[in-house]
Amino acid sequence: MSQQGGRPTGHDDDWWRHLYDDSTDDTGPTPAPDSLDDRFASAAGAVGDPVDERPASEPVLPAPRAGVTDTARRAPWEPPSARLTDPVTFPSATKPPGRSGQVPDRPPTAGATSPASEGPAEPPATAADSSGPPEVPPPAPPPLPTTPPSWPSPEFRPAPPDAPPRPADPALAPPRPADPPLPPPPPADPPSGRTAPRIERPATSPRPRGYVGSRPPTYEAEPVALPAADPDDLDDLVADTVLDGARYGACTLRAVSVRGDSARYRGEPRRDSLLTARFGTGEHALLLVAMATGARATPGAHRAAAEACHWIGRAVGRSHARLVADIRDGRRGDLKSGLHRLTDRSLGKLRASASEQGVDPEEYAAGLRCLLLSADPECRTRVFFGVGPGGLFRLRDGEWQDIEPQVAEIKGEPVMGFGSPPSETPEGDRFTMDLGIPTPPSPYEPAPEPPREPFRFRTSVARPGDTLLLCSGGLADPLRGEPELGDYLAERWSRPEPPGLAAFLADSQVRVKGYADDRTAAAVWEA
């Protein structure tokens, strides 16, 4: 280097050319690993930076970044003729995906030379050199060694004392240990003697077997055969089950009529008929529940039962205003005589219908039982009336009470059109002397009618929590004959809330051996 303002000489700057001349490599080979890359690799191994474990014969090339050219990946002092596949002085700023802590590229291996080292390159000419005397060419650099410089191998890199050794080849890695087995589930009760906390569940009633008693019924529980149908009279068909319900005032009503097991097995229609109707609106409304049972072993028994319900429904509906007033005022005598008249008139029309059809009135007959309920919440009077067998029960304080009115208790004057005056006193004295002489019928009196079932009537004042049950003989007979059925229904129907329609249907279908008739029932729960 010349002094400031002095003329340069030809040999003063030889040392500068030897250091920065393009004919020499960036870091020339030396016998000892003392280059910049060697020192960087040594420092990276000392601080624990992972080093690539690929063989030295495979140079690591970073992935090119979009928009990065050859000039961006070269150092300022590298010739532009260098190929992209040749090692470069420093890697690109872009790192290969999935790798972290990548060290700079390794130095070239044996036999790998750059185009700059294949031959001596002419030094660039400067303005000062062109005007001065010709320069003496510098001495040739020493020949390159045939062996690559020593490089610190990863196998000899000092590792932390607590780190496990890493194998050079992944295929030689030790097998992964199997997952430890899952711990066994904890015991139900701790061995210390303390019991685990349990969730208290409300006690539920035992599920019924579908029947009560010591033996199962003879017939199956579900329908087997359908009744025969007439294509010209499809309105004559009767459904297997009828279910209904309502809530008015302080009472909740549930009503059902189910075909018996015997009729289900033989394919006979249901002989019982059920009618639920409301007449009027508001507090002046009247609820009617009517059920009728046709004569046994009669072809048209189901039609006779349906007609009986329809006739009594029409009669009550036309007189519902007067009946509601009598019920609210508690006029028991007026109710009895009026309902007696309506019942006799309805059964009389049923007999007249039998005569029109040319059927024996004794066969085309039905027993009829009805229940009247007022929609007024302040009125708790329940009225029962009817003709024929069946049952009227009251569930109070968990116990069944049979409140069916007895025929012997019925007293009073006969109602017009039904019955006749008694022919003897209660002591047995007859009003007239019977001489045993037959008396011909008078032409001025109608012919004597066949004996009929006595009229039954009863009024009941309900209490909160009571359950009133009106049923036909198909349910009344097993209730009186099988105590277990009464206990089961008492437990089911004594709960605070009345059962739903489906639950009421299931309860009314609990079977008892020996009782296979149709079942029709109407229950009223008092709030």
Do the Cβ atoms of 257 and 218 come closer than 8 Å?
no
Task: Phi first, then psi: give them for residue 49, nearest 5 degrees.
Answer: -75, 130
The residue among 406, 374, 417, 392 whose CA lies nearest residue 476 is 392
Within a domain: 208: no
Q: Is the pTM of this model over 0.85?
A: no
The residue among 143, 82, 136, 153 whose CA lies nearest residue 114 is 82
Within a domain: 429: no
Buried b (16+ CB within 10 A) or exposed e, 397-415: eeebeeebbeeeeeeeeeb
365 and 462 together in one domain: yes
Task: Phi first, then psi: give them for residue 115, nearest 5 degrees.
Answer: -60, -25
Q: Which amino acid is at 71?
A: T
Give the total number of structural domains in the chain: 2
Within a domain: 268: yes
335 and 478 together in one domain: yes
pLDDT tens, residue by residue, 207-237: 456 788 878 888 888 899 999 999 998 988 9
Domain boundary among 138, 160, 182: 160
The single residue listed with the structure tokens 């109602």 is 415
**E strand or H helix that includes residue 267:** none
41 and 150 together in one domain: yes
- Written as six digits, the tokens of 448 are 């004597």
245 and 144 together in one domain: no
Query: What's the CATH code of the domain at 406?
Result: 3.60.40.10
pLDDT tens, residue by residue, 343-356: 999 999 999 999 99
386 and 498 together in one domain: yes
135 and 253 together in one domain: no
Buried b (16+ CB within 10 A) or exposed e, 66-95: eeeeeeebbeeebeeebeeebbbbebeeee
Within a domain: 298: yes
Within a domain: 415: no
pLDDT of residue 416: 37
320 and 467 together in one domain: yes
Position 341 pLDDT exceeds 70: yes
Top pLDDT among 177 and 499 is at 499
The residue among 521, 415, 413 whose CA lies nearest residue 476 is 521
Q: Which amino acid is at 153?
A: S
Q: Which domain holds residue 16?
A: 12-160
pLDDT tens, residue by residue, 300-337: 999 999 999 999 999 999 999 999 999 999 999 999 99
Position 488 pLDDT exceeds 80: yes
Domain boundary among 160, 181, 196: 160
Q: Based on C-alpha coordinates, what's the Rg of the chain?
A: 57
Within a domain: 191: no
245 and 378 together in one domain: yes
Do the Cβ atoms of 460 and 396 come closer than 8 Å?
no
Within a domain: 63: yes
Within a domain: 442: no
Q: Is residue 249 very low, low, confident or very high in pLDDT (cuts 50, 70, 90)?
A: confident
pLDDT tens, residue by residue, 282-296: 999 999 999 999 998
Domain boundary among 103, 132, 160: 160
Positive or negative CA dihedral for 379, 381, 387, 391?
Answer: positive
H-helix segments, 142-223? none
3-state secondary structure of 291: strand
353 and 246 together in one domain: yes
243 and 98 together in one domain: no
The residue among 389, 340, 388, 371 whose CA lies nearest residue 462 is 371
pLDDT tens, residue by residue, 197-207: 454 444 545 54
Rounded (5°) CA angle 381-248-323: 45
23 and 134 together in one domain: yes
255 and 135 together in one domain: no
Q: For residue 475, give every residue at least 6 positions away whose Cβ sits within 8 Å of its Cβ, in sequence order, or none.
A: 391, 508, 519, 520, 521
The residue among 405, 400, 410 whose CA lies nearest residue 390 is 405
